[in-house]
Amino acid sequence: MATTGRLVSRLAMVTGGGSGIGRAVCRRLASEGASVVVADVCEASANETLRSLPGDLRGQAHMAAAADVASKESVDNLLTSIQARYFQPPSVCVNAAGVTQDNFLLDMEDDDFDRVVRVNLKVGPPPDAVPSPASDSSSSSSSSSLQGSFLVIRAVARALVASGAPKGSIVTVGSIVGKVGNMGQVNYAASKAGVEGLTRTAAKELSRFGIRCNCVLPGFISTPMTDKVTEKVIGKMKSLIPLGRMGEATEVADVCAFLASDDARYVTGASLEVTGGLFMG
């Protein structure tokens, strides 16, 4: 997708901006002319992304911030620091922070589920559509933040409404797993399904303020998290993807940029799949 300057003069905030999809989104939005706030629980990663952003000749357009989307205090502080610096709330917000912690339903203890939900609904780094225990990916980990998304969406929406800004666009990175489920990811799938319900409801409530809310549902995307998946599992996943390959973080970012821009001015409450056709229909 060519850059078109669609976001010139817009202020954008990206959670999970320190890695993978969030980092690609930061770069894409900056290349479209936006000033970008890179927010991540890992400050060093956020700063690394910041240094890689285009369009900041004087080093003042963008900023990096340490922020934990699972913490109301942290999210509120983030919005306060943004408004202190830019004298406005972000009119574009992309929620890309997410984490996972996989296990089979039959093996999952209450504490494990609670912990995962607590983390998933509050924090976040990563992969999904990624095979887990069943498909011999040794690991565990990843799920996203329902609570985190709630805290961020509410904080941004409140700030936008209070400022009287004429429009806003909030994009949340869900997952195709929220629609179709995935072995070993009962907690993750539930949180991602929740993110869609949250987004659609926010879209209904916030449209009268000119704020659009949409989801992007990635499939199997190459990021630092999925880099850990074995070749065998990657091969298995690829065989299920009609386009025959994993997606790139930039390809998810392209869709986020579209939803953020006025090109999507009549799109709200939508979930756009970026899966290479995985699980279509």
**Which residues of the shown chain bind ligand NAD in the complex (CB under 6 A)?**
15-16, 18-22, 40-42, 45, 67-70, 96-99, 123-130, 144, 148, 173, 175, 218, 220-221, 223-226
Cβ closest to ligand NAD, residue 33 vs residue 98 = 98
CB 123, min distance to ligand NAD, A: 3
Structure tokens at 111: 């504490």
CB 126, min distance to ligand NAD, A: 4
Cβ closest to ligand NAD, residue 36 vs residue 70 = 70
Q: Return all residues near 68 (Cβ < 8 A) that are at least 6 apart.
A: 41, 74, 75, 123
Structure tokens at 192: 């991602």
Whole-number Cα distances in Å, 62 to 3, 224, 244, 254: 18, 24, 36, 19
Structure tokens at 209: 């303020």
Residue pair 187/143 in contact by the 8 Å Cβ criterion: yes
Active-site position among 45, 99, 103, 188: 188
CB 53, min distance to ligand NAD, A: 15
- Dist CA 237 CA 218 (whole Å): 14
Q: Is 188 part of the annotated catalytic residue set?
A: yes
CB 18, min distance to ligand NAD, A: 4
Residues annotated catalytic, as ranges: 188
